[in-house]
């Protein structure tokens, strides 16, 4: 009996529709589980870099102090009515942030708003930008045509605290000149040149260097032209003030900041960040710390002054 063997190969079995759907579902579940972890890891890296930037600024501030026996001025004014100023804290720190060549391009005999100096202030510096804040990339005209576009940043020098929604402010030359900005509410990097021409030093920080803000984060989503500018002509664009939280409730950025930022005078001087739960601050002793949104309002305000005499219980959490 003859046996015939078929030489035709059997077709390999493929995925059924049900199996394919199961695989897709598994992949979707894995992506859903892993994506938040990846995003959290990236944000953790961004936060670490943000804090590292502040530590570099701390070293720069103390190197400046070693060279000049004082900390730099927040901004230098010669008039209470002019929005223009001379070199502020951001420019003063350039040589100590490995930016000596850029510093040498700045003419200290000219106002910030002079064309020559605005070319310097238009330089985007990575140390002045928190990676979490993508809005610091590029250039912005902070005064809607009054000045050329300059480079935004993520940090403001802390000029002090305010007891009211719209002042007094140690970043505002008129308030400094007329004395409404009381000495006990001034911060480390305040306006000088009118009313008060004295910069701060380690000796004048009587509240303690570990209990006093020097620089803090700043971010706003409601007003692009009120962002932080490391070399701004208008002082409050480069300086910030600790604000009473009770005055700031209800503004659009409140959820993003320790205290609100925004379009009103009480908002665009405040401090804050895009980080969930708080913001980074640099203390006068050079330490960078993360301040949570649940910080006591009175404590927060006290930490913004150099000589507020708020008592021994004041300490950074």
pLDDT higher for 6 or 45? 45
Query: According to the model, what pLDDT value does residue 148 have?
Result: 54
Model confidence at 10: pLDDT above 80: no
Model confidence at 8: pLDDT above 80: no
Query: According to the model, what pLDDT value does residue 19 have?
Result: 77
Q: Mean pLDDT, the chain, as a whole number?
A: 77
Query: According to the model, what pLDDT value does residue 146 have?
Result: 46
pLDDT, average across residues 262-274: 62
Sorting pLDDT into bands at 50, 70 and 90, what band is 315?
low
Model confidence at 34: pLDDT above 70: yes
pLDDT higher for 68 or 112? 68
Report the C-alpha gap between 6 and 238 in whole angstroms. Answer: 85
- The single residue listed with the structure tokens 């802390």 is 158
Model confidence at 262: pLDDT above 50: no
Range with the poorest average pLDDT among 69-78, 94-103, 194-203, 209-218: 194-203
For 56-98, the pLDDT digits (tens) are: 999 999 999 999 999 999 888 877 766 677 888 999 999 999 9
pLDDT higher for 34 or 283? 283
Query: According to the model, what pLDDT value does residue 166 have?
Result: 66
Cis, bond preceding 168 (omega within 30 deg of 0): yes
Range with the poorest average pLDDT among 178-187, 203-212, 222-231, 247-256: 247-256
Sorting pLDDT into bands at 50, 70 and 90, what band is 260?
very low
Report the C-alpha gap between 188 and 205 in whole angstroms. Answer: 8
For 129-182, the pLDDT digits (tens) are: 888 876 655 555 554 444 456 777 889 899 888 866 667 788 877 788 777 788
Query: According to the model, what pLDDT value does residue 200 have?
Result: 94
Sorting pLDDT into bands at 50, 70 and 90, what band is 22?
confident
Query: According to the model, what pLDDT value does residue 311 have?
Result: 56
Report the C-alpha gap between 287 and 317 in whole angstroms. Answer: 13
Model confidence at 251: pLDDT above 90: no
Query: According to the model, what pLDDT value does residue 253 have?
Result: 52
CA atoms in the 13 A half-sphere facing the CB of 83: 10
Sorting pLDDT into bands at 50, 70 and 90, what band is 247?
very low
Range with the poorest average pLDDT among 5-19, 55-69, 87-101, 281-295: 5-19
Query: According to the model, what pLDDT value does residue 161 have?
Result: 87
Q: Which long-range contacts (CB under 8 A, 24 or more apart) does 148-152 make?
A: 148/115, 148/118, 148/122, 149/122, 150/118, 150/121, 150/122, 150/229, 150/231, 150/232, 151/121, 151/122, 151/123, 151/124, 151/125, 151/229, 151/230, 151/231, 152/227, 152/228, 152/229
Model confidence at 313: pLDDT above 80: no
pTM: 0.78
């Amino acid at each position: 009996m003859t046996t015939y063997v078929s030489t035709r190969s059997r077709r390999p079995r493929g995925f059924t529709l049900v199996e394919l759907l199961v695989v897709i579902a598994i992949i979707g579940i894995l992506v859903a589980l892993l994506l938040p972890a990846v995003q959290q890891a990236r944000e953790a890296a961004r936060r670490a870099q943000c804090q590292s930037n502040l530590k570099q600024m701390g070293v720069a501030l103390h190197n400046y102090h070693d060279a000049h026996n004082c900390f730099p001025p927040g901004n230098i004014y010669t008039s209470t009515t002019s929005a223009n100023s001379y070199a502020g804290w951001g420019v003063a720190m350039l040589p100590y942030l490995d930016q000596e060549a850029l510093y040498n391009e700045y003419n200290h005999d000219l106002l910030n708003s002079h064309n020559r100096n605005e070319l310097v202030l238009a330089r985007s510096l990575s140390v002045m930008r928190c990676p979490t804040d993508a809005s610091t990339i590029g250039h912005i005209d902070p005064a809607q045509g009054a000045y050329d576009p300059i480079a935004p940043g993520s940090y403001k020098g802390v000029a002090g605290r305010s007891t009211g929604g719209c002042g007094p402010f140690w970043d505002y030359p008129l308030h400094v000149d007329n004395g409404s900005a009381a000495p006990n509410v001034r911060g480390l990097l305040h306006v000088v040149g009118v009313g008060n021409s004295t910069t701060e030093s380690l000796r004048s920080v009587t509240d303690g260097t570990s209990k006093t803000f020097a620089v803090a984060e700043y971010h706003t989503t409601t007003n692009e032209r009120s962002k932080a500018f490391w070399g701004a002509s208008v002082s409050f664009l480069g300086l910030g003030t600790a604000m009473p939280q009770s005055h700031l409730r209800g503004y659009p950025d409140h959820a993003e900041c320790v205290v609100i930022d925004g379009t009103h005078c009480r908002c665009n001087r405040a401090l804050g960040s895009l980080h969930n739960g708080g913001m980074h601050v640099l203390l006068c002793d050079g330490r960078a710390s993360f301040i949570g949104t649940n910080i006591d309002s009175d404590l927060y305000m006290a930490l913004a002054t150099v000589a507020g005499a708020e008592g021994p219980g004041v300490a950074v959490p």
